[in-house]
Amino acid sequence: MNEKKKTFARPPKKLTARKSPKRKKKEVVMPPLPGPEQLEWEKIYEMEIVTRARAWNRARDMGTIEGINRRMAFGGYRDVIRDADRAYEGSIWKIAGEIMERRDTIRLVIVAGPSSSGKTTTTLKLCEALRAMGEDPQLLSLDNYFWNLKDQPQDEFGDYQFESPQALDIETINQNLRDLLAGKETTVPVYDFMAGGRKEKWEKMKLLDGQLLVMEGLHAFYQPMTAGIPGEIQFRVYIETVCQLQDGADNFIPWTDIRLLRRMVRDNLQRNYTPVRTLGHWHYVRQAEKEFIVPFIGQAEAVINGYLPYELPVYKKYLYESLKAAVEEYAGQTGKEDARRRGARCLNYLEEIDVLEDDSVISPSSLIREFIGGSIY
């Protein structure tokens, strides 16, 4: 995650896998919504969720790449997959319970996090948990509020800079939120990512009396989006890949590298973007999240760890050869030093890890399916 502070072969071995109910009103004293102050990197690494993640991994010999290879070679990997999924989903149900405890005041649940942290799957799972508890939440995705691609700025390489909050129609987001929470009917945009722009026809949306609204998006914590909306009716959830994994040199793998691997796999499989293109764009991702996303983790009332300790071997199958070609292509290119450095570092992880050839052992409800495909969501 902080590459400056956390610096970070065996040949691949094939592994064949073995309407809301009525509640009694109660008085709730709400803490004030945190202001725009940012949380320093050092404080993030001291958070309890980091310590728990490290202990969970080490207890199962999943805290190092070497340990993961041992689990794959000598058994118990299916158990790790099962336990990791249960721990992740358990954290979501816990948060749903916290929301329900304050449901007399909470009207808006906000899910935010950096790129490829698993926001979409996490939000849908949270909505499932809330429905099981008697709620009927409506979902509002910020992805529909992007400006048309033709209106986004480009750099000298023809790459679009659509990672900052200004790539979104903030004024319409805020107006839609205010209208919905006031019980008014409103129209929300629908974005066509294949066409690179909004559809001409917008959709009508209205909340029932007291209905819960769940908003999900990269910059969902960006305060101008919720301007004028009381902090006491909001519940903020942050998701991050809290990866406490060490490579062969005993360096901790940056959290951002796990997210980069996820995005390269997803872009290659689902969006026809090669790793060359994703790597070349990643500096924009990092620039925006360092300023507008990660430092505001302190505003969250709940933090979810979206890293799954079994995921790295999965990506080798889908990414190794194409990532190797991308690193070679960027070698010596002026202006692409950052892309080559990040790509080479990620390639090294894939060279160290053994490959999971048969990913049918991974549930279709797993967060990882958001990136490799086959998700029920």
Task: Give the number of other Cβ atoms within 10 Å of residue 21's Cβ.
Answer: 8
* DSSP letter assigned to residue 159: -
Per cent of the chain over pLDDT 70 is 86
Residues 334, 340, 346: CA angle, nearest 5 degrees: 175
Model confidence, pTM? 0.86
Beta bridge partners of 214: 109, 139
Give the residue carrying structure tokens 């816990």.
94
pLDDT-derived band at 222, boundaries 50, 70, 90 = very high
Per-residue pLDDT tens over the stretch 254-296: 999 999 999 999 999 988 789 999 999 999 999 989 999 988 8
Per-residue pLDDT tens over the stretch 173-219: 999 999 999 999 999 999 987 788 889 899 999 999 999 999 999 99
CATH of span 41-368: 3.40.50.300
Whole-angstrom distance, CA of residue 313 vs CA of residue 352? 10
SS3 369: helix
User: Which range has the worst mean pLDDT, 7-11, 234-238, 258-262, 309-313?
Assistant: 7-11
Per-residue pLDDT tens over the stretch 90-130: 999 999 999 999 999 999 999 999 999 999 999 999 999 99
Whole-angstrom distance, CA of residue 268 vs CA of residue 261? 11
Contacts of 59 (CB under 8 A, 6+ apart): none
Q: List the chain domain ranges.
A: 41-368
Whole-angstrom distance, CA of residue 178 vs CA of residue 186? 10
* pLDDT (average), residues 7-12: 34
Contacts of 336 (CB under 8 A, 6+ apart): 280, 330
